[in-house]
Structure 1
Amino acid sequence: MSLKIRKQAMLMAVPLGAVLVAFFILPITRLIIETGQGGGMELYVEALTNPQYVHSLGYTLGVSVAVTAVSLALSGVVGVFLARNEFRGRRLLVAMLTFPLAFPGVVVGFMVIIWAGRQGLLGQMTKAMSGDKIVLAYSLTGLFLGYLYFSIPRVVVTVMAAAEKIDIELEEAARSLGASPWRVVIDVIIPALVPAFISSGAICFATSMGAFGTAFTLATDIDVLPITIYTEFTLSANIAMASCLSVILGVITWAALFGARIAAREESIGAAG
């Protein structure tokens, strides 16, 4: 590598280093320092044994896994259909499906309240039909719906891009050998989409784990980790525990993203081989 190229690489690395230090290293270091000053490992033991924090972490993991699974199932079908079919209004439909990406979490939570809150459309319809009003907004079910609303577009876009790259000749070869439509889906289409499912699923999981705005808007009967961290920091002034829980949350999401990256790469290499 010539001296000129090295200088160019160093100049390009300066903005990367500044962003890395300002937005990643310094905040994480500060969290670790706060945790160390508040009790160190004992604080982590308390966070992982105290029933309040354990339940909060369990609720967060449960909702995140459920949202990821349902998003992959629904968006996989929708993404493949949109990638394989051209029809009038397709671009408008794709735009509508991706529109929730423009909404912040608070707006998504408010939309869930309008639809399934105490005075929402769902409650009015069920009361008119059965006399009993169904309210979902202020529970884990409402949070699940809100997270699902902004998770589906992420998966749909990723699956569409992957589905467009599937070699149609592989499907035709499978059909010519007598494979049924379901066998083609199971043996050809799904394996080709596995890397996209892994990467988009990891993003859905990480986003659901750390989403705050939607949970805060619907937080009447919700005890997920972002709300617990907010409560510890603002109401209890327990900065050390809030930092500890933040580190735990960050480690879980980082591990999910890192593992998904490795798994997606191995699947891509296996498919190519």
Structure 2
Amino acid sequence: MMRGERSRLILLAMPAGIVLLTFFLAPLAQLVAVGASGENGVAAYASVITNSRHLASMVATVVLAGLVTLSALAIASVAGLFLVRHRFPGRNLLVSTLTLPMAFPGVVIGFLVILLAGRQGLLAAVSSASIGEQIVLAYSIGGLYLGYLYFSIPRVILTVMAQAETLDPAREEAARSLGAPTWRVVIDVVLPALRPGLISAGSICFATAMGAFGTAFTLATDIDVLPMTIYTEFTLNANIASAASLSVVLGAVTWGALLIARRLSDTAVATGA
């Protein structure tokens, strides 16, 4: 590569490099340093295992994110395929409505969950009238699950619809002509073809659920997920080192999940799945 070409490439890459250093690498390095600055030193990073509250919070966060991801993939896959393969009056309006939650911040979604399943919500009113007892889900992990699922489904639907547009109907017809029942066609033809999109959508859904804070903060009565634990350590306990170390661990776990998803997605594309 000639010197002039190399210089031009360096100049073109310099703005991106400055942004990466200023807004990502430098703050991240500072966060890592602060996490090890407490009385426990580097051992603070092991508190997610040694501290029972931190461990329970991490387990709850991972399990919740996993359940939300699986549920969103199941619901959005069916809905996305249906919307791609059927044209009917009001379809565009329905798609717009399904993606509307993407316009709401987490606090608004938490408020919507309260209106649906809070003490004065629709679910409580219906259950009180029908069985004489109020059913309240909003302020528990169940309410947080509903909130996370609410803002996860639109993201997955859009990705599934984009991937479904690339499906070759001839492959499904060939499978049916060979006598394969519908469920076999779905398992052997449709799902493998959707696999890259499902992995991509699932990884984004999981990462978002791992770090979401606004909805959890709005519903935080009996909820102990890691973002809330970090907030408590930082604000109520004034334990900045603990909050920083937990933040780094949360980021590392999420990054690891995204890396695995990327590898799986690349494998699926390479094998033509």
Q: TM-score range by the shorter chain?
A: over 0.9
Q: Deviations over 1:125-174 (max 9, x none)?
A: 11111110111100000000000000001100000000110111111111
Count matched residues. Answer: 272
1:143-222 alignment, distance < 5 Å: 143-222=144-223
Corresponding residue number in structure 1 for 2:228: 227
- Aligned mates of 1:111, 1:3 — CA distance in 2: 59
- Aligned mates of 1:128, 1:11 — CA distance in 2: 69
Structure 1 residue 4 displacement after superposition: 5.3
Structure 1 residue 64 displacement after superposition: 0.4
Q: Deviations over 1:13-62 (max 9, x none)?
A: 12211221122111210111112222333212233211110111111111
- Aligned mates of 2:22, 2:222 — CA distance in 1: 36
- Aligned mates of 1:238, 1:148 — CA distance in 2: 31
Equivalent AA in structure 1 for residue 28 of structure 2: I
Percent identity between the two aligned chains:
56
- Aligned mates of 1:66, 1:188 — CA distance in 2: 25
Gaps of 5+ in 2: none
Equivalent AA in structure 1 for residue 212 of structure 2: A
Gaps of 5+ in 1: none
Equivalent AA in structure 2 for residue 20 of structure 1: L
- Aligned mates of 2:166, 2:2 — CA distance in 1: 38
Corresponding residue number in structure 2 for 1:22: 22
Corresponding residue number in structure 2 for 1:117: 118
Alpha carbons 1:47, 1:244 under 8 Å: kept: no
Alpha carbons 1:79, 1:156 under 8 Å: kept: yes
- Aligned mates of 1:128, 1:60 — CA distance in 2: 34
Corresponding residue number in structure 1 for 2:258: 257
Q: Deviations over 1:82-132 (max 9, x none)?
A: 111111111111111111011000000000001111101110111111110
Corresponding residue number in structure 2 for 1:45: 46
SS of aligned partner of 1:108? helix
Residue 173 and residue 2 in structure 1: after superposition, are their counterparts in 2 closer, same or farther (change >3 A)?
farther
- Aligned mates of 1:182, 1:5 — CA distance in 2: 56
SS of aligned partner of 2:172? helix
- Aligned mates of 1:165, 1:9 — CA distance in 2: 35
- Aligned mates of 1:163, 1:46 — CA distance in 2: 43
- Aligned mates of 2:259, 2:223 — CA distance in 1: 28
Alpha carbons 1:159, 1:197 under 8 Å: kept: yes
Cα RMSD of the aligned pairs, angstroms, is 1.3
Alpha carbons 2:36, 2:45 under 8 Å: kept: no
SS of aligned partner of 1:37? coil
Structure 1 residue 233 displacement after superposition: 0.4
- Aligned mates of 1:6, 1:84 — CA distance in 2: 49
SS of aligned partner of 1:271? coil
- Aligned mates of 2:41, 2:261 — CA distance in 1: 30
- Aligned mates of 1:168, 1:23 — CA distance in 2: 46
Structure 1 residue 181 displacement after superposition: 1.5
SS of aligned partner of 2:137? coil
The list of structure 1 runs, each at least 4 consecutive aligned residues, that deviate by more than 2 angstroms after superposition, is 1-12
- Aligned mates of 1:95, 1:174 — CA distance in 2: 33
- Aligned mates of 2:6, 2:99 — CA distance in 1: 41
Equivalent AA in structure 1 for residue 197 of structure 2: A
Structure 1 residue 9 displacement after superposition: 2.8
- Aligned mates of 1:143, 1:151 — CA distance in 2: 12
SS of aligned partner of 1:33? helix
